[in-house]
Amino acid sequence: MNFSSKLLENAVAEFARLPGVGQKTALRLVLHLLNQDKADVEKFSSTISKLRNEIQFCKVCHNISDHAVCEICASPKRDKTTICVVEDTRDVMAIQNTNQYNGVYHVLGGLISPMDGIGPSDLQVDTLVERMKENEVKEVIFALSATMEGDTTLFYLHKRLKDFHISISTIARGIAFGGELEYVDEITLGRSIATRVPYEGSLSR
């Protein structure tokens, strides 16, 4: 792609680094910004910069937050005895949109994937175990994607938590194998949480 301006070329290259954005889409986005008022573009730039510099991760559950403790963990209306374990913030948002869950979360920050060099030590597993030791937890729900990496992570987490006297369950498999939570419709996901099953029982299915 030939550019009439080095500044334009550099901007397109930066946008093209975003996931799912090719050069043509990046060019369209950059040209759109060039057609906007300078004040709007500066606001856009400032918002992205502020996001990167000021965003925090909840010290309790590791969800993305504006504060040291996220609104979910801080809410007195949430059931602190139930922890839903998810891969990342997108899954928290997906489950919240179902309005079927009133417990708290624990964000792992990924899934175990030996092929990608991601092991248990790269995830927020130890902090989950610490939460189990320090708080009165009655149930842990595994709400991970129905993929090989998700199942590997489930198996490992179950081994780490099985000695605690709690209920360990997993969302019902109304979600097809290979499906990721963020792409599942809210009704199916909500039903999967409401009809969750004991993890050990799910192994025989």
Q: What is the mean pLDDT of residues 57-71?
A: 96
**172: Cα within 13 Å, side-chain hemisphere:** 12
Whether 173 shows a pLDDT value over 70: the answer reads no
Q: Is the pLDDT of residue 28 over 60?
A: yes
* 205 has pLDDT over 50: no
Q: pLDDT band for position 183 (50/70/90)?
A: low
The answer to whether residues 108 and 123 touch, using CB atoms and an 8 Å cutoff, is yes
Identical fold at 6-50 and 76-202? no
Tell whether the model's pLDDT for residue 201 goes beyond 60.
no
- For the chain, how many residues are written? 205
pLDDT tens-place string over residues 120-163: 999 999 999 999 998 899 999 999 988 889 989 999 999 999 89
- Scanning the structure block, which residue is given the tokens 């060039």? 34
- Nearest-angstrom CA–CA distance, 198 and 142: 10
pLDDT band at 198 (very low <50, low <70, confident <90, very high): confident
Question: How far is it, in rounded angstroms, from Cα 147 to Cα 154?
Answer: 10
Q: In this prediction, what percent of the chain has a pLDDT beyond 70?
A: 84
Q: Dihedral of the CA atoms 13, 50, 70, 155 (nearest 10)?
A: 20
Handedness of CA 156, 159, 160, 161 (dihedral sign): positive
CATH topology of domain 76-202: Dna Topoisomerase Vi A Subunit; Chain: A, domain 2 (3.40.1360)
Note the pLDDT of residue 189.
66
pLDDT tens, 75-129? 999 999 999 999 999 999 999 998 889 999 999 999 999 999 999 999 999 999 9
Q: Is the pLDDT of residue 177 over 50?
A: no
Taking 60 as the threshold, does the pLDDT of residue 181 lie above it? Answer: no
Whole-number Å distance between alpha carbons of 95 and 204:
26
pLDDT interval class at 178 (50, 70, 90): very low
Domain range summary for the chain, segments of one domain joined by +: 6-50, 76-202
Q: What is the pLDDT of residue 3?
A: 85
DSSP state of 145: -
CATH architecture for the domain at 6-50: Orthogonal Bundle (1.10)
